[in-house]
Amino acid sequence: MKWACFITGTDTGVGKTIVTAALAAALVQRGLSVGVMKPAETDCPPEQGREGAHDAQLLRRVARCAAPLELVVPYALPLPLAPALSAEEAGVTIELAEIVRCYRELLATHDVVLVEGAGGLLVPLTAQQTMLDLAVTLGLPLLVVARNVLGVINHSCLTVAVASQRTRVLGVVLNHPVPPDESDPAVRSNADALRRWCPAPLYGPLPHLADLSEEALTAAGSRLLSAELLEGMALDIAEGERIAASAAAAAEEGVPTEPLNEAGA
């Protein structure tokens, strides 16, 4: 049996990397070999390249993943912009087929692969494809990370509604990337509101993690890793490979899987 999922967010800065690391740590504790992937990481110092991809490095360390860094982070880009824009500024062409190749190699050598996107669901990855296109190309279900603030109901429901049109949504993780203001009525009520109105299971809320030790991350991940979530991550390998091969062939031919309106990007 193989497991995998794509971790996206309602926005940037919602704590996707911490949630991915927490899940990786909890899966490792269960005795599974965990591959991690940040297909495109931005804000990487040019002089450091992939070595400066701090999110990917954290995930790799926590997952005890020995895979080469070029598989974990195929594209390390310098400017803190959406991957498509950072790549354009750096003169780099992001190839969907290369990301698919790296993912499939990680999947072949690990029990579980966790793929963390950049920013939110519709952030441009290439001139024509978004993070959602990538998740669909890889044939992966989505886990959505949301920040526990005023507005999270709308952000979460929009993300789930769009994603559900094209792939399975495993649920929403309500997260605290910064210490919460417990006097804020939105912070206190968001979890119940999401259970009421968001059409996806709710996981969390996760506490703010100031300590990123393996012990703290494992404890947080264990709060998320229910049997239901793990079952949702189980892959139909044949179907996933068919989708990936089809999308990779389309990308090589220059055919977008889901065209992004550049005029409105």
Contact residues for 205 (Cβ-Cβ < 8 A; gap 6+): 148, 174, 175, 176, 190, 191
- Output the six-digit token pair for 35: 């591959």
Residue pair 37/16 in contact (Cβ under 8 Å)? The answer is no
Q: Which of 19, 26, 38, 139 is catalytic?
A: 38
Give the CA count within 13 Å in the CB-facing half-sphere of 194.
34
Closest to 65 in 3D by CA, of 16, 100, 114: 114
Can you list the positions of beta strands (E) in 3-120?
Answer: 3-9, 34-37, 40-41, 75-76, 112-120
Contact between residue 176 and residue 13 where contact means Cβ atoms under 8 Å apart: no
Catalytic site includes residue 38? yes
Tell me which residues are annotated as active site: 38
